[in-house]
Amino acid sequence: MTMLLFAGFVALILLRVPITMAIGIAVLSALVYAGFADTLYIIPLQVLDGVDNPSLLAIPFFIMAGNLMNGVGMTDRIFNFASALVGHMRAGLAQVNVVSSLLFAGVSGAAVADCAGLGTIEIKAMRERGYPAPFAAALTAASAVVGPIIPPSISLVVYAFLSNTSVARLFLAGIIPGIIVGLSLMAFNYVVALKREFPREERKSLPQIGRAAIDGIAALVAPGIILTAILTGFTTATEAGVLACVYTIALGFVYRTFSFAMLWKALTETMTITSVIMIIIGFSHVMGWLLAIEQIPQQLADHVLMVTESRAVFLLLLLAFLLVVGCFVEGVPAKLILVPMLLPIIDQFGIDRIHFGLIITLALLIGIATPPMGIALYIVAEVGKVPFEKVAIAILPFLVPLIAALLLITFVPELVLFLPNLILGPA
Amino acid sequence: MPLIDRALAVIDRLFLIGANAALLAMLVTTTLNIASRAFLGQGVVWVFPINIVLFVWMTFLGFFVVYRRNKDITVDFLLSAMPAMAQRIGRILVDLAVIALLLIILREAPALIQRQVGNIEMVGLQRYWLSIPFFVSCALIALQFFSDLIHALKGHDAPAHHPAGDI
């Protein structure tokens, strides 16, 4: 049954069956094989059960916050502020690219909003200053990985739902790893710049930095609003997402950039991405139900423990596996299938679920920047007008700092757990 | 086929408006709830249950819009590397498989609807109203894939694919 389920799923997605339908068809076959042919109403029942879930209500609002930020023009201000801060460094605009993504990540919960919004500005600016277009596009895709690590994060909300962990704890746990990913990319830019003589921008005076900060302060305040609202208990995660949206719309009025056409576009983009995610969650819920009924996760845990009892070896094998999966399957469906399977093993090895949440999120996220399925590569190739093949080659060196950051986060759990334990107390 | 295509295009527009309206309503009512709690000291009790219904409806109305606009995630690299005939056969097989899945789901609709009894608290609707947009979207998506099947059999090109993107 398990072979039929997973081999069927892989064969179907390779045949270009849309991922939701591939899960549905694989599950249908497995249900019939497992003797549930007379109770196939389980499929729509479980889909509805997966979608009708209050803990996932935050998803659309964290997506919308990023789309609205792009719509009201905050991305330009974020870029200008980052430029004033780090533009004078070696490979100035490349560093600005990473810092802009870090700042934008504090508002948006999705990587795609980073690529599509900031990416357009960043790639254009870097090309004009003489950076090779594939390098600029590849860096933009790599730095978008930061988005769903730094709170707010839709990816972490989904993981919280799957693993029965606290969203607030996961959000706090993502801050240091997000900064580490950003710093590793900046260090890589520096090393590349030593060889390739990338231009530096003029160093800005303190008053100029101050003006850029005032201009961009509105965006910098947003993450503080979201985190404070959740941590103080003033709002739920969903309400914090709504606050971020309302705040951004208010900024649109202040900057006179708000329009109903912009709002409609943001609503449409948000609704589309949310529907894709939620329908995948719905169909994966059927798969999860079937796996639980057949006790597959427990069997898998027993098998893994027979292979190795070393936590370090297990983590290395896990990372290799997740990186390969991330190359071919998008993060959310991969997580929906893998988390319920892996949690019993994680628990047996005594790995903290919050720590594992960040490991699996980052490992699968790296997949958005790896060919052949990296969605970020497709987006930056489109917005940057760079051939996909060139971006796919240019991204490869950027995988070194991303994987180095992943290894650091995996083998030094304190980097993940320090902030949640400090602020919320040990779990 | 042009008639089905035109009808699906109109329904796509209506579903898009419905799904976006549901999302906007969630935004407005939740804002109202936060404001009420902050300034009046008490929340609006009906906001949460209504938002759950709106969220489910938005998702299921969006389900059809996603497929109508080719926004679901697909893995293209293998089939794209194949000759045109293999791609065409692949497309026909995919259409048939998806139509079969959706018809089986639709066959189960009466059984599920019968089980979803009782009012949704504070909303007043019967529980089966949550799943009705799902079944309607399934039927429309089956029609969409049927239309694509006819186009594929006639040798027409597949529509461009625009995935919604990862998170």
Neighboring chain B residues of A368 at a CB cutoff of 8 Å: 166
Q: In degrees, to the nearest 5, what angle opens at C-alpha A227 toward C-alphas A160 and B20?
A: 70
Average pLDDT over residues A265-289: 89
**How far is Cα A34 from Cα A131, in angstroms, rounded to an integer?**
57
**How far is Cα A58 from Cα A270, in angstroms, rounded to an integer?**
12
> Cis ω on the peptide bond leading into residue A372 (within 30° of 0)?
yes
More confident residue, A114 or B83: B83
pLDDT at B104 exceeding the cut of 90:
yes
The pLDDT, as a whole number, for residue B163 is 59
- Tell me whether A330 touches chain B (CB under 8 Å): yes
Q: Closest Cα of chain A to B87: distance in Å?
A: 9
**Mean pLDDT over each residue of chain A, to the nearest integer:** 88
- Tell me whether B23 touches chain A (CB under 8 Å): yes
Average pLDDT over residues A42-68: 90
Neighboring chain B residues of A64 at a CB cutoff of 8 Å: 23, 27
User: Residue B126's beta-bridge partner residues?
Assistant: B119
- The predicted-structure confidence for B8-51, as pLDDT tens digits, reads as follows 999 999 999 999 999 999 999 999 999 999 999 999 999 999 99
pLDDT at B99 exceeding the cut of 90:
yes
- The predicted-structure confidence for A162-174, as pLDDT tens digits, reads as follows 999 999 999 999 9
| CA dihedral angle for residue A407, residue A413, residue A418, residue A423, rounded to 10 degrees | 110
Q: What is the DSSP string of B23-54?
A: HHHHHHHHHHHHHIIIIISS--TTHHHHHHHH
**How far is Cα B55 from Cα A105, in angstroms, rounded to an integer?**
24
More confident residue, B67 or A15: B67
- The predicted-structure confidence for A290-336, as pLDDT tens digits, reads as follows 888 888 877 887 888 788 889 999 999 999 999 988 887 777 778 88
Neighboring chain A residues of B27 at a CB cutoff of 8 Å: 61, 64, 242, 245-246
Q: Are A123 and A383 in contact (CB under 8 A)?
A: yes
Average pLDDT over residues A376-386: 82
Average pLDDT over residues A357-379: 86
pLDDT at A90 exceeding the cut of 50:
yes
**How far is Cα A317 from Cα A207, in angstroms, rounded to an integer?**
51
Yes or no, beta carbons of A16 and B58 under 8 Å apart: no
The pLDDT, as a whole number, for residue B72 is 81
The pLDDT, as a whole number, for residue B164 is 55
Neighboring chain B residues of A362 at a CB cutoff of 8 Å: none
B167: confidence class by pLDDT, cuts 50, 70, 90: very low
The pLDDT, as a whole number, for residue B166 is 44
The pLDDT, as a whole number, for residue B162 is 60
C-alpha closest to that of A100 among A138, A147, A65: A147
Q: Which among B56, B98, B108 is the nearest to A21, CB-wise?
A: B98
pLDDT at A24 exceeding the cut of 50:
yes
Q: Which two tokens stand for residue B64?
A: 């059809």
Measured between its terminal Cα atoms, the distance across chain A in Å is: 37
Residue with tokens 């894939």: B145
Q: Which among A15, A272, A282 is the nearest to B94, CB-wise?
A: A15
Percent of chain A scored above 70 by pLDDT?
A: 99
Q: Are A101 and B67 in contact (CB under 8 A)?
A: no
pLDDT at A62 exceeding the cut of 80:
yes
The pLDDT, as a whole number, for residue B92 is 94
The pLDDT, as a whole number, for residue B1 is 66
Q: At what angle do helices A260-293 and A19-33 cross, to 10 degrees?
A: 20
The pLDDT, as a whole number, for residue A28 is 93
pLDDT at A112 exceeding the cut of 80:
no
- Tell me whether B88 touches chain A (CB under 8 Å): no
- The predicted-structure confidence for A256-276, as pLDDT tens digits, reads as follows 999 999 999 999 999 998 998
Average pLDDT over residues A112-138: 84
Chain A segment 113-132 residues within 8 A of B by beta carbon are 115-116
Q: Are A22 and B107 in contact (CB under 8 A)?
A: no
Q: Are A40 and A54 in contact (CB under 8 A)?
A: no
**How far is Cα A344 from Cα A351, in angstroms, rounded to an integer?**
10
The pLDDT, as a whole number, for residue A246 is 94
Average pLDDT over residues A156-167: 92
The pLDDT, as a whole number, for residue A298 is 79
Q: In the 3-class helix/strand/coil scheme, how is chain A assigned residue by residue? A: CHHHHHHHHHHHHHCCCCHHHHHHHHHHHHHHHCCCHHHCCHHHHHHHHHHCCHHHCCHHHHHHHHHHHHHHCHHHHHHHHHHHHHCCCCCHHHHHHHHHHHHHHCCCCCHHHHHHHHHHHHHHHHHHCCCCHHHHHHHHHHHHHHCCCCCCCHHHHHHHHHHCCCHHHHHHHHHHHHHHHHHHHHHHHHHHHHHHCCCCCCCCCHHHHHHHHHHHHHHHHHHHHHHHHHHCCCCCHHHHHHHHHHHHHHHHHHCCCCCHHHHHHHHHHHHHHHHHHHHHHHHHHHHHHHHHHCCHHHHHHHHHHHHCCCHHHHHHHHHHHHHHHHHHCCHHHHHHHHHHHHHHHHHHCCCCHHHHHHHHHHHHHHHHHCCCCCHHHHHHHHHCCCCHHHHHHHCHHHHHHHHHHHHHHHHCCHHHHHHHHHHHCCC
pTM across the whole model = 0.84
- Max mean pLDDT range (A61-65, A295-299, A368-372, B63-67): B63-67
**How far is Cα B109 from Cα B104, in angstroms, rounded to an integer?**
9
Q: Which among B52, B67, B75 is the nearest to A328, CB-wise?
A: B75
Residue with tokens 């912009």: A262
Q: At what angle do helices A237-254 and A206-231 cross, to 10 degrees?
A: 150
pLDDT at B77 exceeding the cut of 50:
yes
A188: confidence class by pLDDT, cuts 50, 70, 90: very high
Chain-centre distance for alpha carbon A276:
15
pLDDT at A157 exceeding the cut of 50:
yes
The pLDDT, as a whole number, for residue A346 is 94
User: Residue B119's beta-bridge partner residues?
Assistant: B126
The pLDDT, as a whole number, for residue B23 is 98
Q: Closest Cα of chain B to A361: distance in Å?
A: 10
- The predicted-structure confidence for B111-165, as pLDDT tens digits, reads as follows 999 988 888 888 889 999 999 999 999 999 999 999 999 999 988 877 766 655 4
